[in-house]
Structure 1
Amino acid sequence: MKNFINAGGNKTLMNNRALSARIRTETGKGAARRLRQNKQVPAIFYGPGADTVMLAVQDIDLLQLKKAGKGENAILDLTIETDRGEMAKKVMVKELVVDPIKNNFIHADFYEISKDRELTLPIPILLQNTPVGVSEEGGILQQIRRELVITCLPDKLVESLELDIGDLDIGDKLRIRDIALPEGIRAVDDGNLTVVVVNVKGAVEEEEEEVEELEGEEGEGTEEKDGSEEKAAEESK
């Protein structure tokens, strides 16, 4: 079996960008609407052992992050302005809600991270090169999975996994267990699951049934938000 490896372009996410936010006291749809009218975006800060804090950030700052390719899962240095001064927090962008019609920001979730606490999250799988089974043998490439759930420390987190599949022949499968992950990163998904396959034309690979569901993995950032999740959903309407 071929050894499928990363193509070498996996960039870590610890080259942080800075973002400022202020604490807000008003919540609800009306308050959120007023914030957006003033070019601000309602947000939430939370994490293991941390108090949930309702925030407001400038929409221009989020736009600059997005233009820089720093969307969900980006790691930021967040400065929170309070009446007693500033608080510096290391956070991950857990969710960035955008209006699908107006394309403006609706809500943002910031999850506090620690350098010694592992994260569990999905990252994109990017394919490089055309398999010989397609270019020379007339096969069809089918990508079964476009994300891989991984666990790692924040300084090991990468933006994506870039996989070189140029040597795949017709009938070859790339399974999760075949991927040589970067040092410090572990796959959470079952190793027997298929990522890509090169089929004969007309054949279709059916996705295997997931062996197990991933619910509430420790360090995943899915901890309860003390009611803030409901508030965020309400403000996003």
Structure 2
Amino acid sequence: MGAHQTIVATTRSLNQAQSLKQIRKGLQVPGVLFARGLNPSTPIFIQRKEANVILATGERVLDMVIDGKKEMVNLTEVQREPSSGKLVHMSFHLLKAGEKTHASIPVHILGKAIGEKTGGLVQLVLKEIDIKALPKDLPEFIEIDVSGLDIGDHLAIKDIKLPTGVELYNMKPETNVVACKPPAKEEAVSEVAADANAEPEVIGKEKAKEE
């Protein structure tokens, strides 16, 4: 697997006045790192600018440098203010070597579909796939080659070759991931044609039956 994105965190004390001041200024985002053992959760801080950069990549499995020590973590939850969308909290889980874990991995489209040459639109139906693997085998993303798709075609999870050591987790293989849709005008015409071919409701007949 390729190198994961790196995020830097520092442990925090819930009563640190300086840390609270940084939060009020909006420079840092509070978070928590969950782990098994004697210390099941560690409060942390992450620089807001760095957090936003990481979130923009869509990656969930990351290398975290916390107080100078490098760990592999899984980003499991992101909280935002409902009105403004401002990032307010992040949750991570520590990954242990030799122990399988499950994670949501972003999907990346590769290639240009045949159908796009005639006006088709490639639509990513599923942005993430839930998988299970050892930390060393967790991919940054899962690539899907759409170059063979024509208008009306689609690819499901079962059509994707997962990396070695990676297995599907709690998802149906038949779930669609990406599709090549017809142009918007063509879709509208198809819907109109379908309505035209539909059998009209004969109100008189229904009334006669009721009588």
Partner of 2:15: 26
| Among candidates 106, 110, 113, match of residue 124 of structure 1 | 106
Compute the RMSD of aligned alpha carbons: 3.6
| Among candidates 133, 154, 168, match of residue 173 of structure 1 | 154
The answer as to whether partners of 2:33 and 2:93 remain within 8 angstroms in 1 is yes
Partner of 1:37: 24
Look up the SS of the partner of 1:51 in the other structure.
coil
Distance 1:142 1:152, change over 3 A: same
> Structure 1 CA distance, aligned partners of 2:164 and 2:106?
17
| Among candidates 24, 36, 40, match of residue 48 of structure 1 | 36
TM-score normalised over the length of structure 2: 0.66
1:143 aligns with 2:124: yes
> Structure 2 CA distance, aligned partners of 1:194 and 1:72?
21
The Cα of 1:117 is off from its aligned counterpart by: 1.6
The answer as to whether partners of 1:76 and 1:91 remain within 8 angstroms in 2 is yes
1:163 aligns with 2:151: no
Q: Which has the higher helix share?
A: 2
The Cα of 1:199 is off from its aligned counterpart by: 4.7
Look up the SS of the partner of 1:109 in the other structure.
strand
Distance 1:176 1:56, change over 3 A: closer
Distance 1:164 1:117, change over 3 A: same
1:114 aligns with 2:96: yes
TM-score normalised over the length of structure 1: 0.60
> Structure 2 CA distance, aligned partners of 1:194 and 1:132?
18
The answer as to whether partners of 1:93 and 1:109 remain within 8 angstroms in 2 is yes
The Cα of 1:178 is off from its aligned counterpart by: 0.9
> Structure 2 CA distance, aligned partners of 1:199 and 1:90?
38
| Among candidates 66, 69, 76, match of residue 79 of structure 1 | 66
Look up the SS of the partner of 2:39 in the other structure.
strand
The Cα of 1:108 is off from its aligned counterpart by: 2.5
The Cα of 1:89 is off from its aligned counterpart by: 4.6
Q: Which has the higher Rg, Structure 1 or Structure 2? A: 2
Q: Deviations over 1:17-63 (max 9, x none)?
A: 36241231439xx998545136443221212335244424252xx52
The Cα of 1:76 is off from its aligned counterpart by: 2.3
The Cα of 1:163 is off from its aligned counterpart by: 1.4
> Structure 1 CA distance, aligned partners of 2:59 and 2:21?
25
The answer as to whether partners of 1:71 and 1:96 remain within 8 angstroms in 2 is no
- 5+ residue gaps in structure 1? 1-10, 81-85, 205-237
1:17 aligns with 2:20: no
For CA contacts below 8 A with separation 6 or more, give which structure has more relative contact order. Answer: 1
Partner of 2:74: 92
Partner of 2:200: none
- Residue type at the aligned position of 1:57: F
